[in-house]
Structures are given as structure tokens and as C-alpha cells.
Chain A
Amino acid sequence: MSGFFKSSIGRKVAMALSAFFLMFFLIIHLTVNITSLFSEDLFNELSHFMGTNPLVQIGLQPVLIAGVVFHFVMGFVLELKNRKAIGVKYVQNNGAANSTWVSRNMILSGVVILAFIMLHFIDFWIPEINTKYILGDMSGMHDGGLRYYHELVEKFHNPIRVVAYVIAFVLLGLHLAHGFTSAFQSMGISAGRKQTMQKIGKAYAIIIPLGFIIIAIFHHFNH
């Protein structure tokens, strides 16, 4: 098996497996966040559970971070290897004649998403870790109630944050528009089922980012 993951296809499979994991995580993340559109209490409850449950915090959180890091590192490793494989560049190359811009520029959309995740870490994750594990406040309380919904509303009050959010999620949509079907193809699943996979992939690539964008815009204009 170790030989498998050293092969070009093995690395693509590893890339696809981490992508499946991250795509599954996006569904969970969106499901939690979308509740903020209609129920302050439900959003608070779910956020508190995710933020304090030991299984999520100690079990799943490190796996998620490892998954994100792996996907990016492997993405860069494969990109460098592929650049080496090209050798001399064409004087004229008409890539648009046979492939989409998105599929040829996954590294670009990936870098923008990486930048967003870093910002998200600084903006959300580090303060959370600080509150919970350094200051030791696991209560999730503020002013007599759970603090999460209030913090979310506060964050989306800032138009710069909303714009950055929208840009990042448009790029995520583009990344997923190719990445979803690509992951299945790498796993060898799409043979013979390509059109169905492409339809599901397109739906996923639109619904997930659009959901996050709607949440940001909704809270920006509604409070």
C-alpha cells in the first residue's frame, strides 16, 4: 500500500479522499450556519455543542485540520511535480479550446481559499481557542445568554468581512465546480456515470457556497 501512495495515481487518490472529507465537512458546517437564518436558539445550541463537545474538539477537530493541511500540501506538491513534467513551454497554447479555465487553475482558486482559511483562523478559530482553552471559559455565555449568534451578527456587520467572504466563496464554488467530479474521477468512480456526476457536482458547487454567501449577506443587512 505504501508503494501505491507514492505513485502518481495513488497521490491523486489521496487528494480525492481528503477532498471527500472536506466536502463532507462543508455540508456539516453549512447545516450548522444556516440555522442562524431562522433560529437564534438552535444556532446557539449547535455552535455550543460543536465548540465544547470533547469528541468534536479533541477527536474531529485535529482530523479536520490535518485534512486541510494535507489537501493543500499535496496540492502544492502535485502542482510542482506537474510543472517539472512540462519542460519547455509552448509559444502558443490554446487551453480554452479544450478545457475550462477553472479546471486549469485549481491551484489559483486553491490559494485564494487557503488565504481565506488563514483569515478565518485568525478571525474566528484563534479567539475561540483563546477564550475556551487559555482563558478557560467553556461556558459559551455572554451577558446571560449563549454568545455565538451575537458574535456571528457582530462579525457580519463589517462590510469588508462580508466582501472577503463572498469573494472566497465564489472561488470555492469555482474550485468545487471542477473538484467535485475530479475527485470522483480520480477514485475511478465516474467511468460510465459521468453526466450524472457532473450534474450532482454542479449542484453541490452552487448550493454550498451560495448558502454561506446568503448567510453573510442576510446578517449584514438584517441587523
Chain B
Amino acid sequence: MNLTLRIWRQKDSSAKGQMVDYKVNDISEHMSFLEMMDVLNEQLVNSGEEPVAFDHDCREGICGMCSLYINGEAHGPDRGVTTCQLHMRMFNDGDTITIEPWRAAAFPVIKDLVVDRTSFERIQHAGGYISVNTSGNTQDANAIPISKHAADEAMDAATCIGCGACVATCKNSSAMLFVGAKVSQYALLPQGQVEAADRVKNMVAQMDLEGFGNCTNTGACEIECPKGISLDNIARMNRELIKAALK
């Protein structure tokens, strides 16, 4: 298929960016979206132009590196997939595809389609862990009984890959689905209880400090999340914070 790509180009974080049109021809419908981007970049390099910068790593849908706002949706029009798992069969010959970086004040553009998502890491550092003695006398994980239901729900929350699609798609650039998932995966397990109050307080405080917006419960994040993280995690985080404040 032959396509027109309308891509955000921005030289560096301080430059003023703009949308630029490119043509790519003979794209196979079996290609992934990123492979199509590789074809474009090869074309640009061959003609002496600067290739389009975009984030990617595993290309297996699990690392959380790839992003891209495609035709007005985070990770494109398909559901439950990251951009690397989005296939060109989702598009038609002759289509114009708009490709933009994640937009949020807390995700500033570094170059072209690459944004700085280290704010997520700082939120994780604020409390997204449990303090475990790893000096050789670590307790056997199976010694603590956990119900199947709690284990499943914690695992569902833990599948968040931190890609930032929730922030990108949110009309308020809220990070609450991400933080909710990270709070939930520990809140549901006995190991997470000891530090529960401090965890939620510190992570929410860091989230606010980074300049993410407020959740207005539109539910867009849940729909666009490549891992199907549920809104219930946001409700659970809210509950955890209310609990911590009342302590």
C-alpha cells in the first residue's frame, strides 16, 4: 500500500516543531507500524535527510518503550496493542496517517516523536516498591498464602508496562491509571501492607509535583491502554489515599 505520513518533526526540546508530510510506497500489510517507520527512515537516510526519531526497544509489546499518537489515538486504532504490535493491515491504501508524540506538560518532547517519560520513573522511586531484605535470608514467597483472586488482580495491575498511553490519551494528561496500577499491585498483596500508607501518599505527591492533571473519569485511558489496565485501579488508589489520610 502507498501512504502519506504526516509526522511531527522537532529538532530538539527547545525547537518549535511542525507537521511534515512524507510519502512511503509499497508498504506490506503484514508489516508492523514500526517496520513501516523503518522503511521511511531508510528512505530519508538514503536521500540525505535526518531520520525521524521515535522510541522503541523490544518490539514485542512488553517493554513499554514505543509510543506514538496515531490518527488521534494512543498506539493507533487497534485495541490492546502497543505501536510495535500494530499492523499495517489496520490501514488502507492511500491513507494519510497522522503521527504525533505523546502530549503532556509532564512528557516534554526531546526530539521528533521521542518524549521524556522519566517523570514515571520518579513516581516509581517515590514508593513503587516493597522493602525486602535481599541479603541471603529472603523468605520463601510461597510461605505467605495469597488468595487466587487477589493474586490475579495484583498480576493484572502489574502488567502495566509504563508506556504512558494513559497520560497521552487523557484529556487532562492525568497519570492516575499508571499510578493506580502501581499502587494496586502492592495494595492487593500482604507484602505491600507495611508501607501501604507511605507508598500511596508519596507516589501521589510525586505525581502532582510532576504536573500531571486530574482524573475526570472519562475512562479513555482504560480503552487505550495496551495492557487493558482497569479503571478499578484508580478507585483503589483513591481508596488507599483516603485510608492513609484518615490514619
Contact = CB atoms under 8 A, between A and B. Distances in A.
Interface of A: 1, 3-4, 7-13, 78, 81-82, 84-95, 97-100, 103-104, 106, 178, 181-182, 185-192, 194
A85 B102 CA distance: 13
Contacts of B130: none
B218 A185 contact: no
A8 B204 contact: yes
B2 interface: no
A4 B245 contact: yes
Contact of A89 (B19, B103, B220, B237): B103
Nearest to B77: A97
Interface stretch (B49-57, B85-93, B136-144, B167-175): B167-175
Given A98-B169, A98-B219, A103-B216, A191 B241 contact: no
B211 A86 contact: no
A95 B220 contact: yes
Contact of A8 (B6, B73, B214, B236): B214
Contact of A85 (B69, B77, B172): B172
B204 A1 contact: no
B161 interface: no
A12 B238 contact: yes
A84 B109 CA distance: 16
A87 B105 contact: yes
Identify which of B6, B69, B246 gathers the most chain A CB atoms within 10 Å of its CB: B69
B232 A91 contact: no
A89 B174 CA distance: 14
B98 interface: yes
A82 B105 contact: no
Nearest to A4: B245
Binding site secondary structure of chain B: mixed
B206 to A, nearest CB: 11
A82 B171 contact: yes
B231 A185 contact: yes
B71 A94 contact: yes
Contact of B73 (A7, A9, A98, A190): A98
Contact of A86 (B77, B104, B220): B104
A70 B232 CA distance: 27
Contacts of B231: 185, 194
B120 interface: no
Contacts of B69: 90, 93
Contacts of A11: 214
B198 interface: no
B215 interface: yes
Contacts of A97: 72-73, 77, 223
B114 interface: no
Contacts of A98: 73, 169, 218-220, 223-224
A182 B174 contact: no
Contacts of B236: 188, 191
B214 A104 contact: no
A95 B171 contact: yes
A71 to B, nearest CB: 14
Q: Which 3 A-B pairs have the closest CB atoms?
A: A188-B239, A94-B72, A85-B213
Contacts of A93: 69, 72
A85 B223 contact: no
B212 interface: yes
Contacts of A182: 216-217
Given A94-B73, A182-B216, 15 more contacts: A4-B245, A7-B208, A12-B214, A13-B242, A85-B104, A85-B105, A85-B214, A88-B109, A90-B72, A90-B103, A93-B69, A93-B72, A94-B72, A188-B235, A191-B236
Contacts of B224: 98
B40 interface: no
Contacts of A78: 214, 216
